[in-house]
Amino acid sequence: DAGVIQSPRHEVTEMGQEVTLRCKPISGHDYLFWYRQTMMRGLELLIYFNNNVPIDDSGMPEDRFSAKMPNASFSTLKIQPSEPRDSAVYFCASRISRDGYEQYFGPGTRLTVT
Amino acid sequence: QQQVKQSPQSLIVQKGGIPIINCAYENTAFDYFPWYQQFPGKGPALLIAIRPDVSEKKEGRFTISFNKSAKQFSLHIMDSQPGDSATYFCAALAGGTSYGKLTFGQGTILTVHP
């Protein structure tokens, strides 16, 4: 299995630009999670989906952030417009409910907003 | 009440030492307590997990000790090696209707000197 795939691995953009992060979960997994990691705030859960349906988006910092999961094999996290304080590593993780609670994390996307 | 407090923030030991990382929680509904290990440039990966019906779980050199009455749990790494140098996160989850949402501690940066 290829594991969770994220793209791009690195993104550098200017303030005000739109940023789209992509995630392909492990095939067959029915949960997908988006996290943000910074030195100051640690690992924060932004939003998660079950069977492509958003369950809890209370961690999304503000309306500039949006996430979609149009099908079981693809999800996006969009930031529009981006700000320097959005600079962080964004992780996608997935899990399969019948196998317990282990979440499998992708390699992350390092976002830098200048 | 949803927080998991982790300490210390960083830890330095010599090879062969036994680093101990501690976590405390308040939510008595938590019933699954995993530890994740993260190497630089990688996503977190599950290391070991415990449920509150046991007081200790050991996998190789890694041991979780769990104190339900004190609402605390800790990770011990026996005979630590330089390859164990990483960031360690404790987490907690309330089963039932939580959909597998993990609450993470702030992380501990472990350095094992040769």
The pLDDT value recorded for residue B2 is: 65
Encode pLDDT of B22-78 as tens digits.
Answer: 999 999 889 899 999 999 999 999 999 999 889 999 999 999 999 999 999 999 999
Q: Do A108 and B43 touch (CB under 8 A)?
A: yes
The Cα B109–Cα B20 span in angstroms is 12
Flag whether pLDDT at B9 surpasses 70: yes
Q: How far is A114 from chain B (nearest CA, A)?
A: 21
Query: For chain B, which residues lie within 8 Å of any Cβ of chain A, measuring from their own Cβ?
Result: 32, 34, 41-46, 49, 89, 93, 95, 99-102, 104-107
Encode pLDDT of A49-71 as tens digits.
Answer: 999 999 999 999 889 999 999 99
Residue B82, SS3? helix
CA atoms within a 13 Å half-sphere pointing along the CA-CB vector of A58: 3
